[in-house]
Amino acid sequence: MKRFTNARLALFGLAISLSALASPASALTNPYAKGADPTLTSIQTDGPFAVSTQSVSGWFAGFGGGTVYSPNTPGKYAVVAVCPGFLAGQSTVRDISRRLATHGFVVVTIDTNSIFDYPPSRANQLIAALNKVTSLTTGPVAGKMDTSRLAVAGWSMGGGGTMLATGMTPGLKAGVAFAPWAQSNNVGNSAVPVSYLGGTADTVAPVPDHAQKFYNAMPATTKKMLGVIQGADHNFPQTADQPASYTEIAWMKRFVDNDVRYSQFLNGDWRYASFASNGPF
């Protein structure tokens, strides 16, 4: 049997202590941090959590119904509601939302009451969906929701609805607006961190007329970023294999899970034609 002298034991203990110090503080002390240290590769693909799906009715709940994606692993997870755009259904935001769920979130993609609903209505429906889903007591999601950590995301008019929802619901932890379109904003006093993501080829919601204006309207003291993807048109959020997807994962991890290990991915990269933020985060 191998024996350790007192000196060796002391060195061994020091090595363990140094190893612990080398680990990110968030992973050691943050109860919401999950999984191994992330890499750019790991957030560009499905995460470590297998997920189940279940339908949720919006009948008398204030929205058009939806699909809940929840991790199979026992535990408590933040809840994110995701809204599609004008004339679109929840299938258009399915892939990007399911991927977010695989990184450790309960995610509900919603249908709106009408495909013609404008951003103010979509904002209300996002909040209604959060209220409905967090009250579920059956199905795979039962018992897995941390109702103190809620967030919203959306595309096009759903992105505009996301912005409006963060402006009227200060208890939200974060929002991500993909190619947002809206006729007005209410974020002049908002304290909810919001990431705006657009594309250089978007002619439906051109960045200067929408995402850039919304970003500028937010207080300088509120965490915010604007990433403009080179060559992306208005439909970029319909696939999970693009930089807005892994930026969303990093944004939600940083501000909903309070996991600073993901801050490194919120500085922009070569895929963005332009990038602005009031980070570092």
Per-residue confidence in pLDDT tens, the chain, 281 aa = 333 333 333 332 333 333 333 344 445 689 999 989 999 999 999 999 999 999 999 999 999 999 999 999 999 999 999 999 999 999 999 999 999 999 999 999 999 999 999 999 999 999 999 999 999 999 999 999 999 999 999 999 999 999 999 999 999 999 999 999 999 999 999 999 999 999 999 999 999 999 999 999 999 999 999 999 999 999 999 999 999 999 999 999 999 999 999 999 999 988 899 999 999 99
Q: What is the largest CA-CA distance in the chain?
A: 75
The answer to whether residue 97 is domain-embedded is yes
Q: Is residue 17 part of a domain?
A: no
In angstroms, rounded to a whole number, what is the distance separating the alpha carbons of residues 190 and 221?
9
What is the distance between the alpha carbons of residues 34 and 22, in angstroms, rounded to a whole number? 17
- State the catalytic residues: 156, 202, 234
> Which tokens is 190 given?
């908002």
What's the token pair of residue 187? 């974020």
Q: How many domains, in total, are found in the chain?
A: 1
Please indicate, yes or no, if residue 154 is contained in any of the structural domains: yes
pLDDT at 27: 58
Domain span at residue 137? 38-277
Q: Is residue 272 part of a domain?
A: yes
Q: Give domain status of residue 9, yes or no.
A: no
> pLDDT tens across 224-251, in order?
999 999 999 999 999 999 999 999 999 9
259 falls within a domain: yes
Interatomic CA distance for residues 109 and 58, integer angstroms: 12
CATH of the domain at 87: 3.40.50.1820
Q: What pLDDT is attached to residue 270?
A: 84
Q: Indicate the pTM of the whole model.
A: 0.90
What are 216's two structure tokens?
A: 């500028």
Question: Which of 94-108 are b and which e, b meaning 16 or more Cβ less than 10 Å from the residue's Cβ?
Answer: bbbbbbbbbbbbbbb
The pLDDT tens digits of the residues spanning 28-67 come to 689 999 989 999 999 999 999 999 999 999 999 999 999 9
Does a structural domain hold residue 5?
no
Please name every residue paired with 66 in a beta bridge, in sequence order, or none if there are none. 56, 110
User: Is residue 143 one of the residues assigned to a domain?
Assistant: yes
